[in-house]
Copies of this chain bind each other. A is one copy, B any other.
Amino acid sequence: MPTSPQRSARRKDALSKERIVATAIEILDAEGEAALTFRALSTRLATGAGAIYWHVANKDELLAATTNDVITRAMKNASVDGGPGAAIRAAALAAFDAIDAHPWAGTQLVREPWQPAIRHILEAVGTHLDGLGVPKHAQFNASTTLLTYILGTAGQYAAGMRFMHQQTDRVEALTSVAQGWSDDGDVTPFVREMAAQLPEHDDREQFIAGVEMILTGIAAIS
């Protein structure tokens, strides 16, 4: 029996939670949420499906770990220069960019809002409220409103990615959505106007605009 080609590749290093999480992220990034199964993962790791369970409790824990990994790294790199307002904007944008790069993390953030990754985002946007002059009693609502807005964006982003995964073009995909909105029997006037703007809008600009509105609202409290 000849030496099989993948023999040298496997068992390079032992299985570990880090290696499992890293491989899971690779699959999620490259092939999307639906592609991450324990079978696919164990094949890629050249091991049995059950082996993974020695390192992670279940799929939920695995997904929380991947999300935590990606979000933690992103929040750590967010700039805190330029005053409290700038720091909050930077934190929100860091979260946005992480989700833009890893849309599957958006699904997971919304799915389990008590996971560590959420706390990193909350901390990053919340710490600077003091500096902004927001009174203590208003900081809970102020920070969770920002967080909720970020989570809403995360969910839509992930949904869009699932929808587009087979699609060629972004504008084309959004146009077909807008088309669907307009073709329906019960189109309402405001939705029709918005549908027209849907294909060409910029997600990042839209996100920033929302953050600015909320920051204006927060400023009005203090």
What residues make up the interface of A, taking CB atoms closer than 8 Å to B?
Answer: 110-114, 116, 119, 122-123, 126-127, 129, 139-145, 147-153, 155-156, 159-160, 163, 177, 180-181, 184, 188-191, 193-194, 197, 201, 206, 209-210, 212-218, 220-221
Contacts and interface: CB of A to CB of B under 8 A. Distances in A.
A112 to B, nearest CB: 6
Contact of A145 (B190, B191, B210): B210
A206 B144 contact: yes
B111 A159 contact: yes
Chain A residues touching B, majority SS? helix
B217 A212 contact: yes
A190 B126 contact: yes
A164 to B, nearest CB: 11
A140 B217 CA distance: 18
Contact of A218 (B143, B147, B153, B213): B213
Contacts of A126: 190-191, 194
A177 B218 CA distance: 26
Contacts of A142: 213
A203 to B, nearest CB: 10
A127 B189 contact: yes
Given A144-B206, A156-B148, A190 B110 contact: no
